[in-house]
């Protein structure tokens, strides 16, 4: 079996009261949060994103990947110890695991490829209808081939699919690297008319995340550096 990795996406909402704290206190809160991210990122994949201006219910996302759950647990213990999290709450949280797709001839990356980060990461949890699992493997393969061919007509969009069966409420966590959100909009509009779309139970909420360093993502919270 190929090496699998756990994926944890944590969407954080910062309370308005935090912005009324003294500037020096907010700066210290940021430093503690960044230190926790840096510690995890020394040995594992970690990226941060800003959702300021793209969502109303969260401001920041931490994307962490590790071969076991222990480092992800330790990361969130450290994050919770930071001053920022005393003034914040987790608005959404998704846990999943990477594994190779049975539908594609192209190998699915089991962890984000270095240097593949785009300007935007668009993320959503997904559930399939139970009728999907009653189809024969051959029928599911036929339907997904058409779905994949549609995606290939949009080379600027890179898909990452992770699986949550038995690990979290959703069945999949799907994310897309995109430099042009408009191209992703066109892709999703075309996918709505594919046969595979009829077997989708839910694929919301949808998060449009702006790639940012931890410092830049935190500075977007209060507009100060």
Which domains, and CATH codes, for the chain? 6-97 (3.30.70.1030), 120-209 (3.30.70.1030)
CA distance 168 to 99: 16
Mean pLDDT for the chain?
93
Per-residue pLDDT, averaged over 128-142, amounts to: 97
pLDDT at 114: 44
pLDDT over 90 at 1, yes or no: no
Tokens of 140: 């599911």
pLDDT over 50 at 115, yes or no: no
Residue 60, strand partner residues: 12, 50
Per-residue pLDDT, averaged over 154-176, amounts to: 96
pLDDT over 90 at 107, yes or no: no
Per-residue pLDDT, averaged over 133-154, amounts to: 95
pLDDT tens sequence across 33-84 = 999 999 999 999 999 999 999 999 999 999 999 999 999 999 999 999 999 9
Percentage of the chain beyond pLDDT 70 is 93
In which band, very low, low, confident or very high, does the pLDDT at 101 lie, cut at 50, 70 and 90? Answer: confident
In which band, very low, low, confident or very high, does the pLDDT at 16 lie, cut at 50, 70 and 90? Answer: very high
pLDDT over 70 at 143, yes or no: yes
Q: Which residues lie closer than 8 Å to 112 by C-beta, 6 or more apart?
A: 45, 47, 65, 160
Helices 181-191, 137-152: inter-axial angle, 10-degree rounding:
140
């Amino acid at each position: 079996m190929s090496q699998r990795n756990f994926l944890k996406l944590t969407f954080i909402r910062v309370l308005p009261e935090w912005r009324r704290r003294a500037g020096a206190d907010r700066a210290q809160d940021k430093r503690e949060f960044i230190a926790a991210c840096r510690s995890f990122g020394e040995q594992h994949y970690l990226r941060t994103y800003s959702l300021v201006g793209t969502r109303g219910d969260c401001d920041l996302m931490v994307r962490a990947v590790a071969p076991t759950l222990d480092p992800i647990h330790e990361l969130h213990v450290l994050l919770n110890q930071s001053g920022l999290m005393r003034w914040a709450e987790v608005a959404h949280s998704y846990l999943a695991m990477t594994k190779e797709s049975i539908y594609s001839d192209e190998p699915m990356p089991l962890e984000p490829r270095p240097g593949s980060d785009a300007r935007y990461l668009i993320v959503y949890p997904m559930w399939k209808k139970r009728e999907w699992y009653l189809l024969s493997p051959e029928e599911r393969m036929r339907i997904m081939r058409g779905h994949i061919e549609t995606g290939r007509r949009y080379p600027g969009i890179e898909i990452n699919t992770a699986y949550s069966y038995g690990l979290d409420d959703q069945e999949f966590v799907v994310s897309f690297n995109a430099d042009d959100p408009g191209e992703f909009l066109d892709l999703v509009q075309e996918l709505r008319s594919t046969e595979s779309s009829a077997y989708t139970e839910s694929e919301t909420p949808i998060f449009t995340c702006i790639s940012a360093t931890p410092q830049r993502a935190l500075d977007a919270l209060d507009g100060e550096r």
